[in-house]
Amino acid sequence: MNVQSKSKASDKAAVLEKIDALLPELERIYVDLHQNPELSMQEVRTAGIAADWLEKYGFEVHRQIGKTGVVGLLKNGEGPCILLRADMDGLPVKEKTGLEYASKAAGTDRFGQSVSIMHACAHDMHVTWLMAASRLLSESRELWRGTVMAVFQPAEEIGAGAAAMLADGMVKKFPKPTVSLGQHLIPQPAGQICYRPGIAMSAADSWEVKMVGRGAHGSQPQNSIDPVVMASATVMRLQTVVSREVAMADNAVVTVGTIQSGFNENVIPDEALLRLNIRTFKEAVRSRVLESVKRIIEAEATASGAPKMPEIREISRFPLTVNDEAAMAKTVGAMGAHFGAARLTEMDPLSGSEDFGLFGTAWGVPSVFWWVGGTDPARLAAAQSGGEPIPVNHSPFFAPVIHPTLKTGVETLLLAAFAWLD
């Protein structure tokens, strides 16, 4: 390393050291976001906070991209353009963490249902991380050249946000990035960074299925075609798709997350509603599982003598999350040089899903996505030794520890950015 390179490395280390002084303000932002979650495509307040922050620190801000998305551009001479993304939406979950700053928010979800709302997947932390990194990149412009594109994305939880932003003309409106960078909090030890080259997260397909029967009095089942029985048989038979139609060497998950039918115990209803989710890692497996699920749904309706075939509607689709191996090595290498190898862990592919990869695909550039731990290490060790299980993402008890999680996520974003802007 020459003298100039050593000087740059020292200067960038000094930027990272500035995070400590920001932590009280960042914690206030995080707590506020946690207490005020918003559902997918309803992130008006969150988007406003992010957009106002970017404007304060010199970004050219574009609001309402894909309805509630925000894109901030910080142009600083000729050089690479890096996309940094954070998702903003909360979940229809009633918080049970018992935290002093627990969410009490409520609203109406995309199906018209009145629900409680919670940041049960740490998108509040993601937004805070990117806000902090954006400010520090703005305040250290003497150290880098290029363009930072800060993307605050709506509706990741329903797989609609990235697609909506792209449909709103992101590729035409904004410069082509050199690389697309994103991160997510998971229940791993706080301060730990996890990564996976190649296929990192599964593809996901969600369907809504309306099964049609014939209603009748509860005392006269002979006059009905009972959709409750039809739906129940469908749910049970769907469990055989993975166990009997997917090879042991492959992976798939079929989950029925919603089953709704009827309102009264003495009335046989005429319809039942199912919402189900399918996760796969290979396109061939995905195609087979989807075909099998459709076959079983229709066959159970036929077996019940349903007056019409079920109505099947796609409600979300997530692509595979695939990390470019060379870009991942460059990004993780920068993190390892700062944190040391002991704080980096290579993970197996995760069964969760993300729409982040759509940005890289749309521009034809490498994507890099990694994870930051947010669980108290002592509590995690106790759980692994047979103690109380750790609440995972989407649990009503999910509660990352603020420190050192908050600092670590800002550090990783800055290290990734400097690796590409340098």
Specify whether 252 is located in the same domain as 280.
Answer: yes
Model confidence at 294, pLDDT cuts 50, 70, 90, reads: very high
Q: How many domains would you assign to the chain?
A: 2
Note the pLDDT tens digit of each residue in 200-247: 999 999 999 999 999 999 999 999 999 999 999 999 999 999 999 999
Range of the domain at 350: 3-201+320-421
Specify whether 99 is located in the same domain as 12.
Answer: yes
276 pLDDT more than 80 = yes
CA distance 313 to 20: 49
**pTM, two decimal places:** 0.94
Specify whether 159 is located in the same domain as 216.
Answer: no
Which CATH number does the domain housing residue 412 bear? 3.40.630.10
CA distances from 95 to 36, 46, 86, 400 (A): 12, 19, 22, 13
Model confidence at 181, pLDDT cuts 50, 70, 90, reads: very high
Of 163, 165, 202, 158, the residue nearest 316 (C-alpha): 158
Structure confidence at residue 2 (pLDDT): 61
Note the pLDDT tens digit of each residue in 23-32: 999 999 999 9
Residues in the chain, total: 422
260 pLDDT more than 70 = yes
Specify whether 181 is located in the same domain as 327.
Answer: yes
CA distance 177 to 363: 7
Structure confidence at residue 6 (pLDDT): 62
3 pLDDT more than 60 = no
**Domain-terminating residue out of 289, 318, 347:** 318
DSSP-assigned letter for residue 121: S
CA distance 320 to 360: 12
Specify whether 115 is located in the same domain as 195.
Answer: yes
1 pLDDT more than 60 = no
Structure confidence at residue 422 (pLDDT): 73
Of 359, 410, 373, the residue nearest 167 (C-alpha): 359
5 pLDDT more than 90 = no
Specify whether 88 is located in the same domain as 28.
Answer: yes
**Domain-terminating residue out of 318, 344, 364:** 318
Counting residues of the chain whose pLDDT is more than 90, the rounded percentage is: 95
Specify whether 65 is located in the same domain as 119.
Answer: yes
Specify whether 214 is located in the same domain as 346.
Answer: no
Note the pLDDT tens digit of each residue in 95-151: 999 999 999 999 999 999 999 999 999 999 999 999 999 999 999 999 999 999 999
8 pLDDT more than 80 = no
Average pLDDT of the residues in 296-301: 98
Model confidence at 164, pLDDT cuts 50, 70, 90, reads: very high
Model confidence at 12, pLDDT cuts 50, 70, 90, reads: confident
**Domain-terminating residue out of 294, 318, 342:** 318
Tokens 């207490």 sit on residue: 35
CA distances from 163 to 89, 282, 319 (A): 15, 21, 11
182 pLDDT more than 80 = yes
Classify 100 as helix, strand or coil: coil
Specify whether 279 is located in the same domain as 339.
Answer: no
Average pLDDT of the residues in 177-183: 98
Which CATH number does the domain housing residue 288 bear? 3.30.70.360
Average pLDDT of the residues in 357-363: 98
Counting residues of the chain whose pLDDT is more than 70, the rounded percentage is: 98
Classify 175 as helix, strand or coil: coil
Specify whether 34 is located in the same domain as 108.
Answer: yes
CA distance 368 to 345: 15
Specify whether 286 is located in the same domain as 297.
Answer: yes
Tokens of 46: 């969150």
Note the pLDDT tens digit of each residue in 299-331: 999 999 999 999 999 999 999 999 999 999 999
Specify whether 81 is located in the same domain as 186.
Answer: yes
